Amino acid sequence: MIDYKIRTINGNPIVDIEGEIRQTAETQLSAAFDQALAMQSNVVLLNFSGLTYMNSFGIGLLITLLIRAQRQETQLRVFGLHEHYREIFDLARLNEVIPIDEDEAQSLRAAR
């Protein structure tokens, strides 16, 4: 199960994710991402500090979101990754295409 909240700071949409990213989260995460893209920002920030689980389907879903963002000429950035998920990003080489920031402040600075 996944819960999300969308908020904005300085016009930058931030999607706060709570729970598990697996196949059952696809509809909700896609809807959240659609709402963030609709804000017409040049960046969407994903806050993973509330992430409790992500499987290989979740990694695939993130790749799908990245492709959608690129088609909209929007940068996707993440922050709040726990060490375990940071390692998964590294192993999957997602860190090469999705910038990983330490915290929200760093993501917002990079979004300028």
For 2-111, give the CATH class.
Answer: alpha beta
Residue 3: predicted pLDDT: 92
Residue 1: predicted pLDDT: 78
Residue 36: predicted pLDDT: 96
What distance in Å separates the CA atoms of residue 25 and residue 60, rounded to the nearest whole number?
Answer: 12
What distance in Å separates the CA atoms of residue 100 and residue 83, rounded to the nearest whole number?
Answer: 12
Residue 85: predicted pLDDT: 94
Per-domain boundaries in the chain: 2-111
What distance in Å separates the CA atoms of residue 77 and residue 25, rounded to the nearest whole number?
Answer: 19
pLDDT lower than 50: segments of the chain: none
